[in-house]
Amino acid sequence: MAISEKSNQGLMKAIKRMHTLVESGDLERVRASQENISALLKHRELNYEPFQVGEIPSEWVSVKRSHMRKFVIFYCHGGGYNTGSFHYARSITNKLSSTTSMDVLSFDYRLAPEHPYPSATEDALAVWDYLMHLGYGARDVIVAGDSAGGNLALSLVLKLKEQKRILPRGLILFSPWTDLTGSGKSYETKVDVDPILNREYLDNAIAAYASGQDLKNPLISPLFGNFTGFPPTYIQVGSNELLLSDSLLLKKNLEKYF
């Protein structure tokens, strides 16, 4: 397990570009703007193969050159559980595919407030099952996600663990949102320096996604999960992020089980 606080790294920059629209209070406008921008994110050296898992829109991203087909990356997009899509996530899935030479599967889970918890987790599990039915083994898959997608990645693996299923090969988390109770110090110390998120945005996202729920439920706030037997986990976060504590506390909790 490793953690990095170099916010100028390429993938962190990609995540920052993805979230520049969170300041808008018009949810539909944000979603539409993200889809308009996503048209610019196609890369000529990559293949994009759309498909459906039931009613869940999904996409394979792969390099056009010879590449590794045994292992795949299962990607959960960010966006506070109320925005985002696999189209908009291409700023990250493009990089993951091109740098690892792995196929990347990403998908559009149902969004809040129309579809609050546990809709996203149910959709992630359905896409996971689809991947298993294709013939991949759990140990052939690396689960990844950013922000709320990092939350979903952790929630998915915790759900698989709850069902006593084989867990994935590893986890890659970019600025994961792990604690919806906001108990970490960075929610106070980084409030004036985070270039993307603010507490009002997070509070609105929580109200849309988990209103009336126990926010300490590990499937909502994975920070409070039991990580016995968890796969190796890589965490990347910026030192000025509101979610810094979410990563640092997760790292501390994971280390108890390794």
Catalytic center residues: 147, 241
Distance CA 112, CA 221 (A): 16
Q: 201: part of which helix (H) or strand (E)? A: helix 199-210
Distance CA 186, CA 240 (A): 8
d(CA 114, CA 51) in angstroms, rounded, equals: 23
Cis geometry, peptide bond prior to residue 118 (ω within 30 degrees of 0): yes
Count the neighbouring beta carbons within 10 Å of the beta carbon of residue 13: 13
Residues in the chain: 258
* DSSP conformation class of 68: E
Cα–Cα distance, 47 to 61 (Å, whole number): 6
Nearest C-alpha neighbor of 229 from the set 164, 179, 140, 175: 164
| 3-state SS string for 145-182 | EECHHHHHHHHHHHHHHHCCCCCCCEEEEECCCCCCCC
